[in-house]
């Protein structure tokens, strides 16, 4: 696998921050083959964190391919295995439709806004 030269901007970002009652993972841009390793690493760290809940905010994501979707599904399994909850933020649009088509909305709760997901995490 080749990596882009350092001067090429990445088409995605994946950040994480502890918030009240959860670890917030925020992704943006295109979650594809290039983004999947970073996404998987951050979500794996989230399952090992002290917070009882993981909130994955996909509201700024334009595209998700099967590798990134697989990373999210794997993370969901890891999170549940240690007794935590995973909540996902997805706006109406292609990302939310993909979660619905793949029946992932049955695997974890999907919220229309970060505020609603964080409120549910701290409840």
Among 65, 111, 37, 3, residue whose Cα is nearest residue 14: 37
- The full DSSP string for 46-112 is HHHSSSSEEEEEEEEEEEE-HHHHHHHHHHHHHHHHTT-EEEEE--TTHHHHHHHHTTGGGTSEEES
pLDDT digits (tens, 9 = 90+) for 53-94: 999 999 999 999 999 999 999 999 999 999 999 999 999 999
pLDDT digits (tens, 9 = 90+) for 2-14: 455 555 567 999 9
Rounded CA gap, 43 and 7, in Å? Answer: 26
Among 77, 18, 95, residue whose Cα is nearest residue 49: 18
Burial of 103 (0-12, 13-18, 19+ CB in 10 A): exposed
- Domains assigned to the chain: 13-113 (3.30.750.24)
């Amino acid at each position: 696998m080749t990596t882009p030269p350092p001067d090429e901007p990445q088409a995605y970002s994946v950040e994480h921050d502890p918030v009240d009652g959860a670890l917030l993972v925020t992704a943006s841009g295109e979650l594809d083959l290039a983004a999947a390793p970073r996404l998987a690493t951050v979500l794996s760290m989230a399952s090992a964190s002290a917070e009882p809940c993981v909130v994955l905010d996909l509201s700024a994501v334009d595209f998700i391919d099967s590798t990134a979707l697989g990373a999210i599904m794997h993370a969901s399994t890891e999170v549940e295995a240690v007794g935590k909850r995973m909540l996902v933020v997805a706006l109406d649009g292609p990302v939310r439709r993909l979660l619905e088509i793949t029946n992932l909305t049955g695997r974890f709760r999907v919220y229309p806004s970060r505020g609603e997901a964080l409120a549910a995490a701290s409840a």
